[in-house]
Amino acid sequence: MTVYCLYIFNRYGECLLYRVYKRTYAPRDPGDEQKNMYGMLFAMRNFCQKMSPAQAAESDGKGLTQREVQAHLQYYVAGNYALHYFETPTGLRFIMTTGTQFTGFDVNQCLRRIHARLYVEYVVSNALYTPGEPIQSALFLEKLDAYVKALPIYE
Amino acid sequence: MARRETGRLSWVAKKQASGAHKRSQSVRGMEAGALPAGVGAGSGAPAGSAGYGAAMAVAAAAPGAQASPTPGSTLNILDQPLARQRGEVSLSAYLLLFCELVAYSRNRVSSVVALEARLAAVGYRVGERALEYVCAKSGKPLPRETRILGILNFVVTNLWRFLFGKNADSLKKVGNSDAEFYIEEVEPLVNTFVSVPKDFGALNCAAFQGGIVHGILSAAGFECEVTTYVRDDSSKPGSAEVTMYYIKFSNEVIQRERRLAG
Amino acid sequence: MAVAGLKGKRQRVKEAAGALSMSKGGNMQKLGELALQKGERVPVELLALTYGSLVRQVIADYESIEEVNKQLDLMGYNIGVRLADDFFAKSGVSDCRSFQDSAEIVAKVGFKMYLNVQASVDLWNADNTAYSILFDENPLAEFTELPEEYAQLSFSNLVCGVIRGALEMLLLVVKCEFVRSTLQGNEMNEIRISLVEMLRESAPEDDED
C-alpha cells in the first residue's frame, strides 16, 4: 500500500504540480497524461453531478440562488490502484493515486490538509509565486514530501 | 505618556495643538497616505522637550473631548481618539498584502537589487511613522534615545515586539567599528512562507523590514544606511538562513556619538 | 402573555424568520471570529502603515487619481484571487454556491477574519442582483486623512478589488465599488456589489491530432 503520484490542477486545466513518489512505470509524455487526466476528471465530475439522485429544485442559471447540490467524485478504485479526488470551491483539483488498501483511512482528508496547510501557506502566501504557474517553491515541495512520506499509507 | 484628558485641558494647550495641526497641514499638505495622529504636532513641539512623551502630550491632549463634527464636515483626524486598544488583523491579510506589494514592485523593476531597493523604500515610510506610534502607545513615557546603542536596543526590543510580536534575534557589532552594526533575524515576518526561486538569485524580501529599520533610525535622528543580507548557515546543525540588517551610521552620527561619550 | 397572544400569525412568522436569519448571520459571525482567533495576528498599525506607504508609492508612480484608483483595484483583484483559497482553507465555510450566499460570507466571515471588522449586509435591490456591505471602521485608513487635492482618491479601493477577485474565483463576476467612505466625510463606509454574470467552467480543449 503506498502513494504513487500527486497532481494539482487549476480550473483551466493547467497542471501546477506533478509529483511522483513510487511509480514504477513512467509515461512517455507526462504532459499528455496530465491533459488526459484533467479532461477525464472534468467529464466524470459533470457525470457524477448529473447522476445525483437529488438535484436543486430549480436553478435559475443566473447564480442568484443555490446552484446544484454538490455531488463530487471522491475516489475510484481500478484493479491495482485507486485515484482520490478533491476539488476546492476555487476550482483547484488535488489528485492522489494510491494503492488499493486504504480502507479506514480518509485520503480525501489528506488532500484537504495538503490544500489548507501546505498549498495555501507555502504557495498562495508566497510573495514570489504567481498564481497559475507551475509550483517550484522548494519550501513547499519539502514540506509536501515530508507530509506524504509520513502518511500511514505510505511505505 | 499623557493620556487623552478630556475636559481637563487648558485653553492654552488647545490653542497650541490646533496651531501645531495647522503647521502640520501646511508642511505636509501635499502628502496623502498614513499620518499618525501625533506626527504633525510632534514636529512642532518645542526643541529640548524631555522626550517623545512630552511632544505627544501636546498633540494628544489638545482636541480632548471628542468633538462631534458639524454636519457636512469631515471629522478631523486629530479629533478622533487614538485607537482604544491594540487592534489586530489576521497575519494572512498582511502577508497577502505584502505578496502584492512585491508583485507590484517586481513589475516596475528589472533587477533584484532594484526590487530590494523598492521594497526598502516602502519600508522606510513605514519605519518613519512607526517610531512615533510605538512611543505614543507605550504604557510609560519612553526616554528619547540619543546614543547609538540606546536606539538600537530600542529597535531590537520595543519596536520589533510592537510590529512583529517578538524581539529580533540578536544585535551585533562589526569588529571594532563604532559605526557598523547588524541585527540578525532567523525568520523575518514577511518571509514566513516565502521561498525564493533560483532565478531570483539572492533576493530577500525582508529588505522591506530593513527599510523599516532605516526609517526608524532616520526619524530618530540617526542617519545611516541599511542593507539586508542573507547569511547561509546551513553548515551549522539546526540553523538555517539568517537575515542580517547591516547598519552603517553616517559620519555626523559617529562624531556626535564621540562628543556625547566625552 | 395576553399581549403575546395578540400578535398575529404573520408577525410571529416574521419574527421567527428574523431570528433564523439572525442566527445564520450569528453563525457566520462566529465563524469569522473563530477563524481570526485561530490564526496568527499582527497589529493593525502595521497593516495600516504598510498600506499607506503602498498607496503613497502608487501615487508617485501614476499621474492621475483615476489611474491610482484603477491600480489599487487591480492590486486588490490579484490579492483576492489568492485570498479565495486562503479563505476556504481557514474559515470553515465549505462552499459559496450563489450570489446571495456570498453576501453573508463576505461581510460576516471575510471582513471579520481578515480585517477584524464588523460588517453588515443591506440594501438589496429588487431582483437581488446587488447589495451593500456597511462597516464603520476601516483598519486600512486608521491613520489617514485625505487632503483636498486627493479628495477623489478611493483610498481603500484595494478592498473592492479583493472582493471582486475572490468572487471571481467562485465564478461570480461582480462590480464592486466604494459608495460612501468615512475618509470622504460620510458616517460609515459602504461598498456596493452588483452581479454582472455567473461563469461556467469550460470543458478543456480537445486537441487530438
Residue C199 has pLDDT above 50, yes or no: yes
**Do B98 and B75 lie in a common domain?**
no
CB contact under 8 Å between B89 and C41, yes or no, is yes
**Which of B96, B121, B130 is nearest residue C83 as measured by Cβ atoms?**
B96
Domains of chain A: 3-48+70-149 (3.30.450.70)
**Do B178 and B239 lie in a common domain?**
yes
What is the C-alpha separation between C193 and C181, in angstroms, rounded? Answer: 15
DSSP element (H, E) containing B172: strand B170-173
pLDDT of residue B80: 65
Does residue C203 lie in a domain region? Answer: no
Does residue C131 lie in a domain region? Answer: yes
Does residue B1 lie in a domain region? Answer: no
CB contact under 8 Å between B32 and C54, yes or no, is no
Does residue B54 lie in a domain region? Answer: yes
Does residue C9 lie in a domain region? Answer: no
Q: Domain total for chain C?
A: 1
pLDDT of residue B175: 83
**Do B71 and B179 lie in a common domain?**
no
pLDDT of residue C167: 93
Does residue B4 lie in a domain region? Answer: no
Does residue B84 lie in a domain region? Answer: no
What is the C-alpha separation between B75 and B7, in angstroms, rounded? Answer: 19
Average pLDDT over residues C27-42: 87
Q: The CATH number of the domain where C120 resides is what?
A: 3.30.1380.20
Does residue B149 lie in a domain region? Answer: yes
CB contact under 8 Å between A139 and B203, yes or no, is no
Does residue C12 lie in a domain region? Answer: no
**Do B141 and B200 lie in a common domain?**
yes
How would you classify residue A25: left for phi > 0, otherwise alpha for psi between -120 and 50, otherwise beta? beta
**Among C37, C46, C56, which would you mutate to test the B interface (most chain B Cβ atoms within 10 Å of its Cβ)?**
C46
**Do B122 and B43 lie in a common domain?**
no
* Nearest-CA distance A20 → chain C (Å): 24
What is the C-alpha separation between C10 and C15, in angstroms, rounded? Answer: 9
What is the C-alpha separation between A15 and B69, in angstroms, rounded? Answer: 56
**Do B38 and B159 lie in a common domain?**
no
The residue range of the domain holding C58 is: 21-198
CB contact under 8 Å between B34 and C79, yes or no, is no
The closest alpha carbon to C83, from B99, B194, B193, A143, belongs to: B99
CB < 8 Å to A131, chain C:
78, 81-82
pLDDT of residue A131: 86
Q: The CATH number of the domain where B116 resides is what?
A: 3.30.1380.20
CB contact under 8 Å between C98 and A64, yes or no, is yes
> Three-class SS of residue B18?
helix
Give the C-alpha distances (Å, rounded to integers) separating C167 from B144, C69, C203: 49, 20, 21
**Among C31, C34, C45, which would you mutate to test the B interface (most chain B Cβ atoms within 10 Å of its Cβ)?**
C45
Does residue C174 lie in a domain region? Answer: yes
Q: Digits of tens for pLDDT over chain B (262 positions)? A: 333 433 333 333 344 434 434 333 333 333 333 333 333 333 333 333 333 433 333 333 333 333 444 444 455 666 666 655 568 899 999 999 999 999 999 988 888 899 999 999 999 999 999 888 888 777 777 788 888 888 999 999 888 988 888 888 888 888 888 889 989 888 888 888 888 887 777 788 899 999 999 999 999 999 999 999 888 766 655 556 788 899 999 999 999 988 888 7
Does residue C8 lie in a domain region? Answer: no
What is the C-alpha separation between C199 and B76, in angstroms, rounded? Answer: 44
Residue ranges of chain A with pLDDT lower than 70?
Answer: 55-69
* Nearest-CA distance B69 → chain C (Å): 10
Tell the residue number behind the cell numbers 544585535, with chain if given: B171
**Which of C78, C170, C198 is nearest residue A62 as measured by Cβ atoms?**
C198
Residue B198 or C50, more confident: C50
**Do B111 and B186 lie in a common domain?**
yes
CB contact under 8 Å between C204 and A66, yes or no, is no
The residue range of the domain holding B155 is: 91-261
Domain boundary among B79, B102, B126: B79
- Nearest chain A alpha carbon to C81: A131
Q: What length does chain C have?
A: 209
- ipTM for the predicted complex comes to 0.85
CB contact under 8 Å between C97 and A67, yes or no, is yes
**Do B126 and B50 lie in a common domain?**
no
CB contact under 8 Å between B33 and C55, yes or no, is yes
**Do B128 and B250 lie in a common domain?**
yes
What is the C-alpha separation between C176 and C192, in angstroms, rounded? Answer: 6
- Residue C28 main-chain phi, psi, to 5 deg: -60, -40
Q: Running DSSP on this structure, what letter comes out for residue B143?
A: B
pLDDT digits (tens, 9 = 90+) for C102-133: 898 999 999 999 999 999 998 898 888 999 99
Residue C206 has pLDDT above 70, yes or no: no
Residue C154 contacts residue C181 (beta carbons within 8 Å): yes
The radius of gyration of chain B's CA atoms, rounded to the nearest angstrom, is: 20
Contacts 24+ apart (CB under 8 A), C20-26: C24/C104, C25/C104, C25/C108
**Do B64 and B156 lie in a common domain?**
no
**Do B256 and B174 lie in a common domain?**
yes
- Residue A23 main-chain phi, psi, to 5 deg: -90, 125
Q: What percent of chain C has pLDDT over 70?
A: 86
Interface B–C counts its CB contacts (< 8 A) at 159
Q: Domain total for chain B?
A: 2
Residue B93 sits at the chain A interface (C-beta within 8 Å): no
> Three-class SS of residue B192?
coil
Question: Partners for C (CB, 8 Å, 3+ pairs)?
Answer: A, B
Does residue C90 lie in a domain region? Answer: yes
Does residue B2 lie in a domain region? Answer: no
**Do B220 and B131 lie in a common domain?**
yes
* Nearest-CA distance B209 → chain C (Å): 11
- Nearest chain A alpha carbon to B99: A127
